[in-house]
Amino acid sequence: MRFDRDHPRYKWVALSNTTLGMLLATVNSSIVIISLPAIFNGIHLDPLAPGNVSYLLWMLMGFLLVSAVLVVALGRLGDMYGRVKLYNLGFMIFTLASIALSLDPLRGGGGALWLIGWRVVQAVGGSMVFANSTAILIDAFPARQRGMALGINQVAAIAGSFIGLVLGGVLAEWDWRAVFWVSVPIGLVGTVWSYLSLHELGARQPGRLDWPGNVTFALGLSALLAAITYGIQPYGGHSTGWTNPWVVAGLAGGVALLVAFVVIETRVPEPMFHLGLFRDRTFAFGNLAGLLASISRGGMQFMLIIWLQGIWLPLHGYDYAATPLWAGIYLLPLTVGFLVAGPVSGWLSDRFGARPFAVGGALVVAASFVGLVLLPVDFPYWVFAALVALSGIGSGLFSSPNASAVMGSVPAGQRGAAAGMRGTFFNSGSALSIGIFFSLMVIGLAADLPHTLTAGLEQQGVPAAVATRIGGLPPVGSLFAAFLGYNPLGSLLGPSGVLAHLPAGNVATLTGKQFFPNLISGPFHHGLVVVFVAAAIMSVVTAAASVFDNGSGRGQPAPAAAPRAERVGAAS
């Protein structure tokens, strides 16, 4: 049944459709993360071969980079030409890109480039959905129900990243193409449904697109995130690439372009980025809190996958090929905690204000990081499950009140651009988390792993020269092996012919489930402590930023926005 824009049930149609869109977009981010081993096997590309790490990183970072760069401009275009129009077009582009991804006809590097390219197209569609769904909800719901509506929407956005871990593991066991097929029927239904059911409610803001601002922002942020991507990879004799002149130039050039962007935005009559919104403390500090929360959440997700797939599951007898599936299953408490707390916090924040839930949620997340630091590498699962559930609850408590407070502080005519700004911080945080936490982990591994790996191989009869060569390889290789659920020792020792000359018992030990996880567990834990302490500090700063808002923290809209929103969605 199709409801008129003024029908009291229309807001629920808008909520269900935009929630489906957000869920679809974010599931496709994490579903690829955990399915990478099956995808690389499917296109016959060895992810651990020299040079192929770049393909792996761009499979992860390409989607996030494009989303971070485009989401503000697409939010602004939604303000100018219609949020529903951009949202509908985004749903369609996302679906077509999913079809193309599932039909990859190439192999090797060409197959990887096909996937990376269509992931970029998919990110364009996802950005249209991401940038405009929040503004569509704000237009449809009255102020007293926005916390609940945004809570459900944000639960879908963040829970999608957790659900994708389990879904990707299950589908990858069947066929790697199914990882992309799963989006097609949902996308087709969602596209048709959005075109038939959604209406334009927000006031359009006609004007010209800020081309100087868009170009400098896109180039600056792209240079910055691309430099971070290559900064993770080894360079010369260093374990990371932060001394690579091209990385340094990318970082410096990106920062310079973003500074130029800020100057441009203060001088053009119709800026893409309404810097004046940051004069509102709720908007400014709320976005800072959201950025830090996104960085710490993204870092936690990657580290937990590495911990489970590379160490804990093999130590407990799981085959490396099966670790992606079981890692997703063992992370279910994280998803459940978030799904329970997210809608409840949105509902409660409508009644008691956003501030206590945003602050409390960030502190709960910080406490969960401290608990994870104290866990041994080979932990009792029930303790791990309790801590990740606590982290999910904290994220759920924080997310929807933060979104409600930030978006409620924005005038009606600028909600699309403001939602785009939030999306930029959200997606940039996810991309930054990869660079920050992978670098911290590599630095932690570099301190101990070479000696530990060399000594362990020599104890199993590997000649000293071969053991030293393997021990001296960049730690990022071992890190990605753990991330992908690989045991790299067979492929590293095989070409040298060493395995053919070792006793059968030593070969079985070297290529078995226990040796590599035990070998890297000590150095890994050293890096893990560095990573989770940094994440805990970020979460505490997130809580501090959430304290600063205007008044009650209920996220009430600016006066100009209230009459239209109240009229559209007053009925329950």
Q: What is the pLDDT of residue 105?
A: 92
- pLDDT (tens digit, 9 = 90+) per residue, 179-233? 889 888 888 888 888 888 888 876 566 667 788 988 898 899 888 878 887 887 7
Residue 5, in any domain of the structure: no
Identity of the amino acid at 171: L
Answer yes or no: do 100 and 221 share one domain.
Answer: no
Answer yes or no: do 328 and 368 share one domain.
Answer: yes
Say if residues 13 and 193 touch (Cβ distance below 8 Å). Answer: no
Answer yes or no: do 388 and 301 share one domain.
Answer: yes
Residue 421, in any domain of the structure: yes
Q: What is the pLDDT of residue 572?
A: 29
Q: What is the pLDDT of residue 422?
A: 78
Residue 568, in any domain of the structure: no
CA distances from 164 to 136, 159, 328, 393, 502 (A): 25, 8, 8, 18, 42
Answer yes or no: do 217 and 202 share one domain.
Answer: no
CA distance 222 to 66: 8
Say if residues 337 and 503 touch (Cβ distance below 8 Å). Answer: no
Range of the domain at 422: 10-209+272-444+522-559
CATH for 418? 1.20.1250.20
CA distances from 213 to 260, 263, 413, 426 (A): 9, 9, 19, 20
Residue-wise DSSP of 2-26: PPPTTSTTHHHHHHHHHHHHHHHHH
Answer yes or no: do 390 and 242 share one domain.
Answer: no
Answer yes or no: do 183 and 284 share one domain.
Answer: yes
Answer yes or no: do 439 and 456 share one domain.
Answer: no
Among residues 271, 295, 320, which one ends one of the domains? 271
Total structural domains within the chain:
3
Work out the burial of residue 467: count CB atoms within 10 Å of its CB; fewer than 13 is exposed, 13-18 middle, 19 or more buried.
buried
Q: Which residues of the chain have pLDDT under 70?
A: 1-8, 47-50, 147-148, 150-151, 154, 202-207, 412-417, 420, 481-487, 491, 494-496, 549-572
Among residues 227, 252, 271, which one ends one of the domains? 271
Q: What is the pLDDT of residue 508?
A: 85
